[in-house]
């Protein structure tokens, strides 16, 4: 046999150095002991990341439509260096409407999806406050791995960031009489599986976050859109009491969507099961996930949204708010100036008849009063007036929420209006669209280089991140070098306008506020969307 030629000495030395580098990197890789075993994460600059960490068992087989069960312990060290699958949902990898790819879910989806992700400073001298982020997505989409939710930059400011997955669509909210009977026998809530997942994640954080340097007594529950609605619901849930100390709700109020009754959910579930040809609960659980697709309307159907189940949600969150039955945590909440453009884009030309019809549908007998408040002469002016009316209806909803909460609350509220137009495709159409503040808060502008952010955008992002981190740390967004953000009070009704400038402002101009009060007194219900 011919003997191989010896490797050159330089190659041997380079290989040895490379191997030494690999070994050194492995030695530096962060580890964390949690209740179920040890995790191996990764170092990202001065931040440790632990990705794809199970907080509950796979909700498959007999665990489909069950309360989340404890995760299975593992032996040895579990690698937590990649995102786990997102919960089952339809994917729009190129984005949709104003939401370009960095706003949407990528990667695999699976029914086995109850995982969370953690970002923590690499060097912790004392227990740090924690933000647990609930993704939005109308309860039919979303994931803790969406690029704009990367927690690295916020964690570098001295907090721990946790993003979670929770069951969506039919997997997260379907129930029927058989499931209700089973839950009663097992002493579990009879639905709201997605909300139960959120509570299970909060319990996991309380039990394990100290291993990452976190303070389990200083958890801020935060979310946007459906995530914010979930925050509002969990504030009223006796099952979530004691699991968080502060709350952030971005673009979500208790009346942002109806909260159907358990009976309505059972009726919807029965009809769904019949349509799928499944006459028993075991037959339903045996169906492959693809057979459980539904065309039910998001945010309206009792089949795919939170319900008043009697245990987790004893009452609709708005009703609980009015009765003072909620956790009295400090809150930071607000809305964007053009929440509706991604759902109902302003028409290029809005005729006078269509404008008048819109005002009548929205305000009934008060339509002439609002027509005077929002004059619209010509199609461009009417399009601008339509945006202004929709914005002010959202602010009126925030006003109505504040009156209900302030009647009972023993903790401060900080409210905002986000007004900055994110650069990018068709930004003149989408304007300050729903969820566009998130990458500024998380400091994740770099995940969308195609938007060509300016130094102003980056300065705004630094200020937004500081406000949010201050609130997570103390329950107050204010800090040195920041424009003062006043607490919302019944007398002051001052909110913070956040954008190119940051400054307090009235929640609504006096004339508009008086008209909105008249609208509410007449039985009107202003809404964000």
Catalytic residue IDs: 225, 339, 434
Alpha-carbon gap, residue 205 to 55, rounded angstroms: 9
| 164, 182 contact by CB (below 8 A) | no
Contact 144, 55 (CB under 8 A): no
Length of the chain: 529
The sign one gets for the Cα dihedral 56, 244, 44, 464 is positive
Spatial distance between the Cα atoms of 334 and 477, rounded to a whole number of angstroms: 13
Reduced to 3 states (helix: H, G, I; strand: E, B; else coil), residue 468 is helix
Q: Do residues 458 and 434 touch, judged by C-beta distance below 8 A? A: no
Q: Do 112 and 60 form a contact (C-beta atoms < 8 A)?
A: yes
d(CA 481, CA 504): 15
Q: Which of 239, 429, 459 is nearest to 348 (CA)?
A: 429
Q: Please check whether residue 405 is in contact with residue 232, taking contact to mean a CB–CB distance below 8 angstroms.
A: no
State both tokens at 411.
């903790």
Q: Sign (positive/negative) of CA torsion 223, 229, 235, 240?
A: negative
Contact 342, 97 (CB under 8 A): yes
Among the residues of 349-409, which ranges form H helices? 352-363, 367-373, 379-406
For every residue of 336-356, DSSP letters joined together read: ETTTTTTTSPPPSS--HHHHH
Distance CA 488, CA 416 (A): 10
Half-sphere exposure of 271 (CA within 13 A, CB side): 11
Neighbouring-strand partners of residue 86: 109
State the CB neighbour count (10 A cutoff) for residue 143.
27
* CA 168 to each of CA 87, 191, 464, 519: distance values in angstroms, whole numbers, following the listed order: 7, 12, 29, 35
Rounded to whole angstroms, how far apart are CA atoms 120 and 460? Answer: 23
Distance (Å) of CA 298 to CA 138, 168, 169? 6, 11, 8
Strand-pair category, 115-121 with 160-164: antiparallel
| Partner residues linked to 31 by β-bridges | 40
What element of type H or E holds 220? strand 214-224
């Amino acid at each position: 046999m011919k003997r191989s030629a010896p490797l050159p000495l330089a190659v041997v030395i380079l290989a040895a150095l490379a191997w030494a580098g690999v070994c050194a990197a492995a030695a530096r890789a962060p580890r964390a002991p949690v209740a179920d075993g040890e995790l191996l994460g990764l170092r990202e600059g001065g931040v440790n990341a632990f990705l794809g960490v199970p907080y509950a068992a796979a909700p498959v087989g007999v665990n489909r439509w069950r309360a989340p069960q404890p995760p299975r312990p593992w032996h040895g060290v579990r690698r937590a260096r990649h995102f786990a699958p997102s919960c089952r949902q339809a994917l729009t990898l190129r984005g949709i409407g104003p939401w370009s790819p960095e706003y949407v879910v990528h990667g695999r989806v699976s029914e086995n999806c109850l995982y969370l992700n953690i970002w923590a400073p690499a060097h912790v001298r004392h227990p740090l406050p924690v933000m647990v982020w609930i993704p939005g997505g109308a309860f039919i989409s979303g994931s803790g791995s969406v690029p704009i939710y990367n927690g690295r930059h916020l964690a570098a400011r001295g907090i721990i960031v946790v993003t979670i997955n929770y069951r969506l669509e039919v997997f997260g909210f379907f129930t029927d009489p058989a499931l209700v009977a089973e839950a009663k026998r097992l002493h579990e809530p009879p639905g709201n599986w997605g909300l139960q997942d959120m509570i299970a994640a909060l319990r996991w954080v309380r039990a394990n976050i100290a291993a990452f340097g976190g303070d389990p007594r200083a958890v801020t529950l935060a979310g946007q859109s459906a995530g914010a609605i979930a925050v509002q619901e969990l504030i009223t849930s006796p099952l979530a009491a004691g699991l968080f100390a502060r709350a952030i709700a971005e673009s979500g109020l208790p009346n942002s969507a109806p909260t159907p009754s358990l009976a309505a959910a059972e009726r919807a579930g029965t009809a769904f099961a019949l349509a799928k040809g499944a006459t028993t609960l075991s037959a339903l659980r045996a169906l492959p996930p693809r057979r459980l697709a539904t065309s039910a309307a998001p945010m309206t159907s009792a089949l795919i949204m939170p319900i008043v189940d009697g245990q987790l949600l004893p009452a609709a969150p708005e009703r609980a708010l009015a009765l003072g039955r909620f956790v009295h945590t400090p809150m930071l909440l607000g809305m964007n100036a053009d929440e509706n453009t991604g759902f109902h884009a302003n028409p290029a030309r809005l005729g006078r008849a269509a404008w008048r019809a819109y005002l009548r549908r929205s305000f009934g007998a008060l339509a002439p009063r609002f027509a005077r408040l929002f004059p619209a002469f010509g199609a461009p002016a009417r399009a601008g007036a339509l945006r202004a009316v929709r914005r002010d209806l959202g602010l009126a909803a925030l006003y109505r929420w504040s009156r209900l909460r302030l009647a009972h609350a023993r903790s401060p509220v900080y409210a905002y209006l986000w007004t900055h137009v994110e650069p990018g495709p068709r930004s003149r159409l989408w304007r300050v669209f729903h969820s566009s503040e998130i990458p500024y808060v998380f400091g994740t502008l770099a995940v969308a280089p195609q938007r060509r952010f300016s130094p102003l955008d980056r300065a705004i992002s630094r200020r937004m991140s500081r406000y949010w981190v201050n609130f997570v740390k103390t329950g107050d967004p204010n800090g040195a070098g920041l424009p003062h953000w006043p607490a919302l009070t019944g007398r002051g009704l001052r909110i913070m306008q956040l954008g190119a400038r940051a400054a307090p402002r009235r929640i609504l101009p006096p004339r508009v506020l008086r008209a909105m009060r008249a609208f509410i007194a007449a039985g009107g219900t202003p809404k964000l969307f």
